[in-house]
A = this chain, B = another copy of it.
Amino acid sequence: MEVKIGIAQANKYAMSECGDSIEVTERPRGGVSAILADGQGSGRAAKLTSSMVVHKASSLIAEGARDGAVARAVHDYLYTMKNGKVSSTLTVLSVDLETYTAVFSRNSNCPVIVKLDYGIDVYEQEINSIGVHKHMKPLMHQMPLETGMIFVSYSDGIQAAGRKRGRSMNFDHFLKIIQENQPEDATFIAESILEYALQLDDYRPGDDMTVVVMGVTDSENLHKIRRMGISFPC
Residues of A with Cβ closer than 8 Å to B?
A: 1-11, 16, 18, 21-22, 24, 26, 28, 30-32, 47-48, 51-52, 55, 58-59, 62, 95, 97, 186-187, 190-191, 194, 198, 203, 221, 223-234
Residues of B within 8 A of A24 (CB): 228, 230
Residues of B within 8 A of A234 (CB): 1-3, 30-31, 95, 97
Contacts A9-B225, A10-B224 known; list 9 others, CB within 8 Å.
A4-B232, A5-B230, A18-B226, A26-B232, A59-B59, A225-B231, A226-B232, A228-B230, A229-B229
Residues of B within 8 A of A62 (CB): 51-52, 55
Residues of B within 8 A of A26 (CB): 21, 51, 232
Residues of B within 8 A of A231 (CB): 2-4, 221, 225-228
Q: What residue in chain B is nearest A31 (Cβ atoms)?
A: B234
A/B interface sample: 15 pairs, CB < 8 A: A3-B230, A3-B234, A4-B232, A5-B228, A6-B227, A8-B228, A10-B224, A11-B224, A21-B26, A24-B228, A28-B47, A32-B230, A59-B59, A97-B234, A229-B229
Sorted from nearest, which 6 A-B pairs have the closest CB atoms? A221-B233, A7-B228, A5-B230, A9-B226, A187-B229, A3-B232
Give the docked Cα–Cα distance between A62 and B48 (Å).
8
Interface centre among A9, A21, A22, A234 (most CB of B within 10 A): A234
Write the nearest CB–CB distance from A98 to chain B, whole angstroms.
11
Interface centre among A47, A58, A203 (most CB of B within 10 A): A58
